Amino acid sequence: MDYFFKIFGIFMEFFAILFFCTAFLSIDIKKIYRNEFLAIWFLGSIGVFLFQTFITVPPYINFSISLGILLLLISTLMKVRLLISLAIVVLSSCLFIFFEFVSLSILDNFFDVYLILEQTSLARVLISLPHICALVLISMLFYVFRISFIPWKIIHSEKLDKHNKKHFHKYITFLFINLAFIIIMVFTVSYSEFYLGIESKGAFFVIILCTTYLLFFSQQLLKEETKRLEQHLDEQYQEDVTKYFRLIKSQRHDFVHHLNTLYGLILQDNTQATREYISELIEDVRTTNESLPLSHPAMSALLLTLKQKASMRGIDMAIIINSPFESLPCRVSEISRVIGNLIDNAIEELTPLPQEEKWIEVILDADGTDYTILISNCGEIEESISQSIFDYNFTTKEGDHQGLGLPETKRIVESYNGLIYLEIDEGYTSFIVSLPIAT
């Protein structure tokens, strides 16, 4: 029976620490990494149990080995950078010890905590519930409010550009300086108080100090992330302005071309051809000035602009709106970037094709809980390409292309607990995006 309580306690503690790790990194364990989470939880708990059962070592070594097992599993199965994995495992353990210290300090007023800790029984499992529940509650708050201090691009093992490398090393250095101080203070007091029986008169001071330091640490991370976000938005704004400036220049060039054509027809006294040409121009202008039944004008303008771009390249683009998309979970600029990247990619893929009937279909729909964006185009993607299409720096384009469009689209979608995937059918390809409706 003792083994049952021991492994049950290990499973609970391992779950709490792992749950906080994934929550702090904003890793979606509900849809994307569910199987990986369950595998890490099971394998890690069993590994820790076997190690503690068959090998007798001092508590601090036991604790370090348990963290090492969790570290290797997270970095391997979830493909999180090793330094990020180490940092978050240390932080999770630090908070776990902190909550344990507070919980046992309170329970010591009602029970003989020292006696219970020396046993492997149901009572020991029960007194561990408060600090386990506290860490799980904090983790749930991270998920509910989508709190994230670490930029997505430095979490996973893709290649970093120069700016993100600098940000990554600066972040890691700052992280370890803070965590080293906190974990040493908390672990020393906790271990001395409950395992060695040494009373610490400064326990309350240490609790206040560590709590304050954690708040300061989080504030500094938030400031750093805010600066990075502002720079990112500024770069995106400049990129959008440049894109629309090029579009205006293109339209101006077309306008001059149309005037020259009309002038030539008038000189030839070809009234019928002039009338037909002007009718076509009026139809094009009417198409440009049409509006879509969307709640956000920016989305409507983007779709119509891309429709005109596709038309200029001989591509028939149909837009079907079944939902106004009024309750987006993200910013309008982000959903516009998702839609724009997917349609732009479809246009670029279809432009060089020789076939006469080239088409793109865009459907915006919604059910009771999710928005759905379906973007289909004629033609199929090779199986080898489809497996790597969401990887950073992967691109099928020639020249100086970074291959960041689809990975960035995937990052935006998943940061709001959404899902994006590719479907290849006979004769056409579809990208499907699902985003939860904001409540």
Distance CA 108, CA 399 (A): 68
Q: How do the domains of the chain map onto residue ranges?
A: 2-200, 293-436
Considering the chain, what is the average pLDDT of its residues? 78
Question: What is the DSSP annotation of 221-250?
Answer: HHHHHHHHHHHHHHHHHHHHHHHHHHHHHH
Number of H helices, E strands in the chain: 14, 5
Q: How far apart are CA 382 and CA 405, in angstroms?
A: 18
Residue 206 backbone phi and psi in degrees, to 5: -65, -40
Q: What is the pLDDT of residue 205?
A: 60
Number of Cβ within 10 Å of residue 25's Cβ equals 21
22 or 240, which is more confident? 22
For 296, the token pair is 């956000």
CA distance linking residue 325 with residue 332, whole number of Å: 10
For residue 132 the two structure tokens come to 């386990």
pLDDT class for 432, splitting at 50, 70, 90? very high
Own/partner contacts of 31-36, CB < 8 Å, gap of 24 or more, are 31/417, 31/419, 32/414, 32/419, 33/78, 36/77, 36/78
Q: Which residue type occupies 60? A: Y
Alpha carbon distance 350, 330 (integer Å): 29
Q: Which residues, in sequence order, are CB contacts of 246 under 8 Å at separation 6+?
A: none
Q: What is the pLDDT of residue 300?
A: 86
CATH superfamily label, 293-436? Histidine kinase-like ATPase, C-terminal domain (3.30.565.10)
Strands 315-321 and 358-366: parallel
Question: Would you say the pTM of this structure is higher than 0.75?
Answer: no
Of 359, 56, 87, nearest to 217 by C-alpha is 87
The per-residue pLDDT for range 168-187, each reduced to its tens digit, is: 555 556 556 666 665 566 66
Q: Is the pLDDT of residue 211 over 70?
A: no
pLDDT in tens, 322-341: 999 999 998 888 899 999 99
pLDDT digits (tens, 9 = 90+) for 405-423: 788 899 899 888 899 999 9
| 3-class state of residue 361 by DSSP | strand
For residues 156 and 79, give the distance between their C-alpha atoms in angstroms, rounded to a whole number: 6
Neighbours of 221 (CB within 10 A): 17
**Is the confidence at residue 137, as pLDDT, over 80?**
yes
Instruction: Check residue 251 and give its pLDDT.
Output: 66
Span 358-407, pLDDT tens digits? 999 999 999 989 999 999 999 888 776 777 787 765 565 554 444 457 88
Instruction: Name residues whose C-beta falls within 8 Å of residue 430's C-beta, 6 or more positions apart in sequence.
Output: 374, 375, 376, 422, 423, 424
3-state secondary structure of 419: strand
